[in-house]
Structure 1
């Protein structure tokens, strides 16, 4: 009888692991203002076959663009797997400033290694199974929120280092942005050795898109707000 039950159970299909949630493809525009100066950023998420491309471009506008020609591009190419988001390639490029910076890395999930170049110097790192690159972190945070986490940690490959960040989740509340008033949930990271707090606000009714980023350091605060959104796929 026990043998027969074992055979029956062995023949039953194994329940598939759920894939991580990712918002539909979109382009969002963000703006930060301080002392009358502004910086505009565009973030785009697109699906390319089995891959995701998550890309941000940040540049000064208005009067600031007359004296600064900086451009920051950050990009993550990922795959969705039952084990979670898997970073495949990462790029960070800062040009036009007094000191240009470039980081490029590739993720080898068979060898669990990350190899790349950071500001002209090659590096190689051991890759923890749950790690994501620093830009894919936002999508990993979305999944933690959807799972109802109130505090969590996430290991990331921060350019040429492996670090673990710790977060707490605040209560949802209404915030006002250039797109109007919306309910959002803050995810907060405190960096005590730099007296810095970073809060990322996610809007559940907008597929948990980040709609505000706040950084407060030594009492000085910079806020980046969403100001437009275009869905490329029908929203879920």
Structure 2
């Protein structure tokens, strides 16, 4: 009964704030994180805004439960983004891994004026192409594109070691169960290509196509899953 009431309250809140547009008003979301079916912890994300016209999408992933006894690493990702009604353009992506005081950092700069992409890990500068995103900002772009009823999308994603093109297509509609209850979702998936990770997203129209479940399968076949457990509209 409590879960049903919570779900109804969530949906009522979304309906009454949908005119604000989550990509313009902001939100907070939490995902349970699994690795090959084993619970790892939680990923807490927030979309907030700082002047002038800068959105900040931040993700902090920490171990929980039994995994916390085995893993001590905290991963913080931040993407600075310009969001308009038609475009999402990242300007800076930062990744910080903290393992018992040992810090590993990555910075990717998107210099749109000079059309340059700078990667601190690779120590390279390459031509910055349109539709280039980092691992956080492209998930917001998926929301924006699905709101435009797109069924196929192409993104160029800059990561620590590579900048690669990914083609995603809507596969089907289905219903999935989460910690917040059942959701009608749009399932979309990237092409399966040797040497590249494959992404699958389950995006909920009731939450303006926010991905409520995400799976990433790396080139070794390992599966990382993110399943929604909490959601709040920013006020």
Same fold (TM over 0.5): yes
How much is the aligned-residue C-alpha RMSD, in angstroms? Answer: 2.7
Change (3 A) 1:151 1:35: closer
Residues 1:66 and 2:69 are matched in the alignment:
yes
Partner-residue secondary structure (3-state), 1:142: helix
Please list the CA deviations of residues 169-227 of structure 1 after superposition, one character each: whole Å capped at 9, or x if unmatched. 12221110001001111120133315864211111111211100124567765432100
Paired with 2:49 and 2:182, the residues of 1 have a C-alpha distance of 29
Say which of 81, 95, 99 aligns to 1:92. Answer: 95
| Structure of higher RCO (CA pairs closer than 8 Å, 6+ residues apart) | 2
Change (3 A) 1:157 1:219: closer
Tell whether the 8 Å contact from 1:23 to 1:207 is kept in structure 2 after alignment.
Answer: no
Change (3 A) 1:123 1:150: same
**Which deviates more from structure 2 when the two are superposed, residues 35-44 or residues 53-62?**
35-44
Structure 1: stretches of 5+ with no match in the other structure: 1-19
**Which deviates more from structure 2 when the two are superposed, residues 20-29 or residues 156-165?**
20-29
Tell whether the 8 Å contact from 2:110 to 2:118 is kept in structure 1 after alignment.
Answer: yes
Tell whether the 8 Å contact from 1:21 to 1:143 is kept in structure 2 after alignment.
Answer: no
Q: 1:232 is matched with which residue?
A: 234
Q: 2:202 is matched with which residue?
A: 201
Change (3 A) 1:145 1:83: closer
Tell whether the 8 Å contact from 1:123 to 1:160 is kept in structure 2 after alignment.
Answer: no
Tell whether the 8 Å contact from 1:23 to 1:208 is kept in structure 2 after alignment.
Answer: no
Residue 35 of structure 1 and its aligned partner are, at CA, apart by: 6.0
Task: Count matched residues.
Answer: 212
**Which deviates more from structure 2 when the two are superposed, residues 43-52 or residues 27-36?**
27-36
Larger relative helix fraction:
2
Structure 2: stretches of 5+ with no match in the other structure: 1-20
Tell whether the 8 Å contact from 1:79 to 1:86 is kept in structure 2 after alignment.
Answer: yes
Residue 161 of structure 1 and its aligned partner are, at CA, apart by: 3.6
**Structure 2 length-normalised TM:** 0.79
Larger Rg: 1
